[in-house]
A = this chain, B = another copy of it.
């Protein structure tokens, strides 16, 4: 039938143009991390980067629709595993979602004579590492009370990636050290990794070079996954929280003591004073002005814990983007578009999100978050702040509605003045 060849031709061309070319698949995620459509990325939509019997790493690149993309990694390490050393060439903020482990790092800037440092990780910790740092992770802490060994789950965001306006990620955030070395061919490595420490240039002279068999043996590790068996003796993990000092531990009861912290690399979000705390839940916001570890970055951190049947009232931040991950439960995020109706592509939306989902709320978009009646709703996130600012609220004494002329407000909604009294809280049941 003619329709047959027509259909075949159409399907072939559609397939070829739209399906085959962009999605020529390779291993795992199949190519570079794409920018995600829409304001949410489901847990199962994360882009796998590596997976082994000892753990996995996946990535999310999410756009706020305006001025950039935000790049996150999700690292899961099984008990007794080792996340091999990687060289960081981006800033990194990480949040420990579950489990325990050890983070080891050393800053390798040419003028820095730093030593290897270690710290024990626990749930709620937020760490910051600068670029030109080499770090590795171990899930190796044995709980003393027979607690079942847990996966170590880490969420990381890479500040600075938001300026990459192109869709495809072009410079990954960190490179495995063995890949840095093995990216060069054998002759380069033989000359470079010589038996004698040499200055910048070397003669490709076989006499002093590393034997080829050694290079071949190194290449055996070329296709190692990033997370491998961690059962071996490195340095005793002394539980060196002491390295960081004891000042980061606050009693939850001492809500008044929100003094500026000593300069250090980490803090724990569960130990921070709550900004809001009542029977409907609590929230914590830590900005880069308040915490030395975040100084010189544009990033702040927040966590919100809504009790069941509760709501974070409508608010917005004029110049701050929020990138959040749901830690527990389910919830609804309502987002309202700024602008005049149909002036932009934006549409008011209700996002149904659940544990593991990533969602982003662009700047200047009013939002409200709600839990369901059957469970709490907990999410944490990173805020990219352009400037120091406070959120705006639609209700309460800080509401913008309170400050307008009552008659004009009535005209805005085309209602009677008495109706407006309800909005302004001057009318009681």
**Chain B CB within 8 A of A6 CB:** yes
A341 contacts chain B at the CB level, 8 A cutoff: yes
Bound Cα distance from A32 to B386, whole angstroms: 26
Distance between Cα atoms of A401 and B197 in the complex (Å) = 12
A405 sits at the interface (CB 8 A): yes
Q: How large is the interface on A (under 10, 10 to 19, 20 to 34, 35 or more residues)?
A: 35 or more
Q: A188-B311, A363-B171 are in contact. Are A345 and B31 (CB under 8 A)?
A: yes
Within 8 Å CB of A283, what residues of B? Answer: 200
- Are A423 and B218 within 8 A (Cβ)? yes
Secondary structure at the A interface, as helix, strand, loop or mixed, is loop
A341 to B31, CA, bound (A): 9
Tell whether, in the assembled complex, residue B309 and residue A204 are in contact, meaning their CB atoms are under 8 Å apart.
yes
CA distance A267 to B298 in the complex (A): 36
* A9 located at the interface, meaning its Cβ lies under 8 Å from any Cβ of chain B in the complex: yes
- Is B4 touching A394 in the complex (CB atoms < 8 A)? no
Distance between Cα atoms of A401 and B367 in the complex (Å): 48
Q: Does A195 contact B (CB under 8 A)?
A: yes
- Distance, CA A136 to CA B410, complexed state (A): 13
Asked if A427 lies at the interface with its beta carbon under 8 angstroms from chain B, I say yes
Q: A336: shortest Cβ distance to chain B, in Å?
A: 3
**Residues A428 and B340 in contact, CB atoms below 8 Å apart:** no
**Interface 9-residue window, one of A146-154, A252-260, A322-330, A413-421:** A413-421
Who on chain B is nearest to A181 by CB?
Answer: B394
Q: Which residues of B contact A393 (CB under 8 A)?
A: 200
Residue of chain B at shortest CB distance from A373: B204
The digit string for A107-134, where 1 denotes a CB below 8 A from any CB of B, is: 0111100001000000000000001101
For residue A116, which residues in chain B have a CB less than 8 angstroms away from its CB?
A: 403-405
Alpha-carbon distance between A374 and B14 when the two chains are bound, in angstroms? 45
